[in-house]
Amino acid sequence: MNIASSHDLGLRRTVRGHQVHPPQTLRENLAMRRDDLIGSTLLDQAAALWWSWWDVSGDVPDWSVFKPFENPRLLPNIMVYERIGERFRCSIVGETVGSRLPVKVANSFIDETLPDDVAGDVSARLVRSLGTGVPNFVEKMMAWRLGRDLSSYRSLQLPFKGEGGDATRAISIINFRNEEMLA
C-alpha cells in the first residue's frame, strides 16, 4: 500500500493543527460469522464473548449483558455508541482510544466532532452492524501526523438491543499499531 498516494492526491485535512490523511481500508468483514478470526487476541476474545451472549438470547444481545467490571481488559479500548434518531452519540471512550484520537468525541454526537468523511464511515459501519444484528470488523491505516507516525487500527463493532428491544447501541473495540514514517 502506498500511503503517499493520499498525500499526492491532496486528500488531506487539518484536525487541531495537524494534517490528517483519510484512512485507507486494509481489510474488512461487514457481517462476521461466529468462526471468523480477526487475528488480534483482544478483538477475537471480544467477538467470542459477544457470540456467547447471542447464544443465550438467540438474537442480538440486550445491552444489560455487558458488565464493565466483568470485562476490564476491554474498557481502555472501547467506544460506546447510542443511536438517537439517525445520529450516533458516543457516550464513553476508553483511555487508550481517547489518547489516540485527534479530537475528543466522548459525550457528543459524532457528526459534530469528527470530520464529515470519518463520521460518515463510522455511522455507516454502526448502521450496518445494528441492521444486520452481527458484529462487523474493519482494519484501516491512517497517517495522523505527516512525517511522524503511521497508525493502523482494527475496530470491531458489536450491536446490542437498547430500550424498547431494538438494536440501538453498539460497542466498538479498537486496537492500534504504530509505525514510524520517514519524512
> What was the pLDDT predicted at 126?
95
> What was the pLDDT predicted at 50?
97
Provide the grid cell at 126. Answer: 454502526
> What was the pLDDT predicted at 24?
74
Note the CATH number of domain 23-180: 3.30.450.20
Please state the pTM of the whole predicted model.
Answer: 0.81
Tens digit of pLDDT per residue, the chain (183 long)? 222 222 222 333 444 454 555 567 777 777 888 989 888 899 999 999 999 999 999 999 999 999 989 999 999 999 999 999 999 999 999 999 998 887 899 999 999 998 888 899 899 999 999 999 999 999 888 765 555 566 788 999 999 999 889 999 999 999 987 655 555
Residue 85, φ and ψ in degrees, nearest 5 = 65, -125
> What was the pLDDT predicted at 16?
45
> What was the pLDDT predicted at 67?
93
